[in-house]
Every structure is written in structure tokens, then in C-alpha cells.
Amino acid sequence: MSSPGSVSSLSSDRPKANARRFVRRPWRLAAEASALVIAVAVAFPLYWMVLSAFRPAGEIESAEPRPWTLSPTLDSFRRVFEQQEFGRYFLNSLVVAGAVVVASVIIAFLAATAVTRFRFRFRTTLLIMFLVAQMVPVEALTIPLFFVMRDFGQLNTLGALILPHIAFSLPFAIWMLRGFVKAVPEALEEAAYLDGASRTRFMWQILFPLVFPGLVATSVFSFISAWNDFLFAKSFIISDTSQSTLPMALLVFYKPDDPDWGGVMAASTVMTIPVLIFFVLVQRRLVSGLGGAVKD
């Protein structure tokens, strides 16, 4: 990377720089205006989704849709939760995502500890394998997984969704947690042993809380991939609709010939909100975590 030192004398050329700043002001205003316009455009689909979810049916079907509504209603949500066992699908999705998060985070924590805190044969080989495993396009494995799940008797159960997602989140989770585990000073470990703590006790009572922010960060990835999964839900839950998750439920309202747009938008809103909440929650936690909770 180039060194900035050689140009520092130029940047102290105040008058010229100021002149430039004045010239550039209209440009900056134009840039800011376009940034705002683009922000509105980017946010528009989400706005439209929420708006349509709260609209009365008559307004949705109007030929000249207006970008606001004067009579918001919960009708669409009511329809969604009453007609199809939507609440159940919502729970199913939560169960799948929750199970994936908990299982993958614990398994990854153990594995990350093993590869950072121990030296053993094949350690590097294992690390490279975890890395390569991240690159495998899981979609291509739908067909063999279908048969694996059939042989395990897991088809049409939530297990068929939970198990593959645990497997697919692991390689990345291990890599990510590795950094967090590594950041905990080894002196701490020595001190714990000197104070008479067992290895297990050190793991769960000292290391685990210290890398917790990392666990949260990792869980985001697992949660999102499990929550949003559509392909597996579609392929593995073939006949027992009581085991469906949200993406499938959403499609119930979307019939290509005559979609119930109010219902689809309400269901979409319900499905999007947990992810947004998760983003917001985790963001704060993550920032504080990265801020150095584990510095000694």
C-alpha cells in the first residue's frame, strides 16, 4: 500500500482546498439529494409490503394504488393467522431456527476450542477442510440429503430441516469462533488451572462467557440460513403440512392465478420482522462484544 507521508505537504495547502470545497458544495448537495432519493427507492419495497399488509382488501385491488392508506386494518393478518395454520408454521420455523442455532453454536464452540487450544496431528488439515466445506453449494446436495433423510425416517419432520442446517452452518461457525476463542489470553487459562479449575470448568465457566459475543455473532448466520430456508423446506416436507415452515405457508397465499396479495404481504411482514429484530438485537451485542469484553 502506498505511503501517505510524501503528500502531507500538499494537503496543508489551505486556501486552495477551501476554494475547492466551495466549488464542490452544490455537488455535495446533489449527492446528498440523490442519496436520499435512492434510500427511499431502496426502502420502498419494504414500505409497500407493510403498507399492503395493513390495507383493507378493497384498496389493494384498486386500479390506482396510492402510497398511503387512511383506514389501516388488521384484516389481512387475521386472515393469515386464521385460515392456514399460520401460527403453527411460525412456531415450526422458530423451532427449526432455534434448534439450529443452539446446536450449531455449542458444537462449533467445542470444535473451535479444540483447534485453537490444542496442538495435535492433522490440525491444519482439519482447518483447511473446514474452510473448503464452506464452499460446498449445499443446494446441490438436496437430492442425496433427501435420501439420507428418508433412510433416517426424518422426511416430513422438522428434523429433516434442522440436521442439514446444523451441518451447513458448522464450518463457517467454527472458523468464526476460532478467532474469538483465540483472543482469550492463554494466561487466563493457566491462571484458572493454577486456581484448581478443571478443564471442563474452564471451558464452560470461563471460556464460554468470554466468547459469548462471538457465539451471538455466529448464531446470526445459523439463524438466518435456517429461518430463510426454502429449498429444503420444499423438498423434505412433502406431504405432512403440519410440519411446514413459514416460506411454504407464505406460498399458500400466493396462487399464481389469483394471489391474495393482502395475505401474502401480511405473511411476508410476519416473516421478515423476526429477522429485522434479530439484526437489531445482535448488532448492539456484537458491537459491545467486539469492543473488547475479553481484553484482560
Partner 1 sequence: MTDRTDRAVPAAGPTDHEHGTPVGTDDHDVRNPTAAGPEPGGGRGRVTGVAALVEASAGGRSANGRSTGGRSTGAGSTKGRAVEGRRGGSRSRGGWTPWLYLAPALVVLGGLLVYPIYQLGLISFLQYTQAQVSGGQPTTFQGFGNYTTLFGDPEFWQVLLATVLFAGACVVSTLAVGCALAVLLTRVRALPRLALMLAALGAWATPAITGSTVWLFLFDPDFGPVNGVLGLGDHSWTYGRFSAFFLVLLEVVWCSFPFVMVTVYAGIRAVPTEVLEAAALDGASQWRIWRSVLTPILRPILTVVTIQSVIWDFKVFTQIYVMTNGGGIAGQNLVLNVYAYQKAFASSEYSLGSAIGVIMLLILLAITLVYLRLLRRQGEES
| 101-140 binders of partner 1 (CB under 8 A) | 107-108, 110-111, 113-115, 117-120, 123, 126-128, 131-140
Cβ(273)–Cβ(215) below 8 Å: no
Q: Which residues contact 153 (CB under 8 A, 6 or more apart)?
A: none
Size of site (CB under 8 A) for partner 1:
135
Rounded to the nearest whole angstrom, what is the least distance from the CB of residue 279 to partner 1 in the complex?
Answer: 5
The length of the chain is 296
| 200-229 binders of partner 1 (CB under 8 A) | 214, 217-218, 220-221, 224-229
Looking from the CA of 177 toward its CB, the CA atoms found within 13 Å total 34
| 68-87 binders of partner 1 (CB under 8 A) | none
Per-position x/- string for 168-207, each x denoting binding to partner 1 as judged by CB under 8 A, each - no binding: x-xxx-xxx-xxx-xx-xxx-xx--x-----x--------
Residue (175 or 243) nearer to partner 1, CB:
175
Cβ(241)–Cβ(54) below 8 Å: no
> Rounded to whole angstroms, how far apart are CA atoms 41 and 48?
11
| 245-284 binders of partner 1 (CB under 8 A) | 247, 250-251, 254, 256, 259, 261, 264-265, 268-269, 271-272, 275-276, 278-279, 282-283
Rounded to the nearest whole angstrom, what is the least distance from the CB of residue 141 to partner 1 in the complex?
Answer: 4
Cβ(170)–Cβ(108) below 8 Å: yes
Residue 21 touches partner 1, criterion: CB under 8 A = no
Quick one: CA dihedral 127, 97, 294, 283, positive or negative?
positive
